[in-house]
Chain A
Amino acid sequence: MATADHSGDPGMAAEAEGAPVQETEPDARYTFANERTFLAWTRTALAFILAGLGIVQLLPPFPGVPWGRHLLGVPLIAIGAAIAVVGYWQWEGNQKALRRGEPIRRSSLPRLLAAAIAALAIVTAVVLLLSAMH
């Protein structure tokens, strides 16, 4: 995709002089790929919301841990909303980078996703242990 080579790039030279950065329409395939990435994160967000809703509404209460379902479900739903918003920001940033021929910035979403899943796994384990001890 875009490379970090700015030598001889008229856009970068113009920016250094304070003039507006030159933007061109990127290859349609890149635009489509960026849109698909956004849609994939959107589905990930919807999956989190669905999981949270399912835990709160469909699971029977954990014995001895009456707040356990909300402790798991509410963060799942909130993380889902966060993933959707960050996914949009990244789509916008990527599209801008494509238009300017700048390198694509590294995505922060994989880290967010990994941290969220790890934290939820720990909370789930604690809730299950508390419930088992009851």
Chain B
Amino acid sequence: MPPPRGAEDFDPGLARERTRLAWTRTAIAFAAVGAAVLKTHLVAGLTVLGLAGIVWGLRQLFRDRAVSGSQRARLLGVTLTVVAVALVALVLSFVGHSR
């Protein structure tokens, strides 16, 4: 099979676009969690909304790097971010108070 350089030739054009849209949906999901956290804790909510912005930015990066090693780092980063958001949500469940 040809090296990564020729990968673009295999792409019928839609796989790339579908993946970009998947990143967009994921960023929107992050923003939804951010909005929910915002209702309880201003700083934590703004932080999660900021993370949504970063995920939105990652949407563009894969354009050049989909088949390189950085893909792994980005996906691992997203995973650890979700775990961190879950921990924040757990803390807020016990100490947070709705306004």
Contacts and interface: CB of A to CB of B under 8 A. Distances in A.
Query: Do chains A and B stick together as partners?
Result: yes
B46 interface: no
B54 interface: no
Contact of A46 (B3, B33, B66, B96): B33
Given A32-B15, A35-B62, A77-B90, A57 B40 contact: yes
B58 to A, nearest CB: 10
A36 B19 CA distance: 6
Interface residues of B, number: 46
B94 to A, nearest CB: 8
Interface string A5-41: 0000000000000000000111111011101101110
B29 A46 contact: yes
Contacts of A92: 72
A25 B38 CA distance: 42
Contacts of A95: 72
Contacts of B83: 81, 84-85
A83 B90 CA distance: 16
Interface of B: 1-4, 7-8, 10-12, 15-16, 18-19, 22-23, 25-26, 29-30, 32-33, 36-37, 39-40, 62, 66-67, 71-72, 75-76, 78-79, 82-83, 85-87, 89-90, 92-94, 96, 98
Interface of A: 24-29, 31-33, 35-36, 38-40, 42-43, 45-47, 49-50, 52-54, 56-58, 70, 73-74, 77-78, 80-81, 84-85, 87-88, 91-92, 95
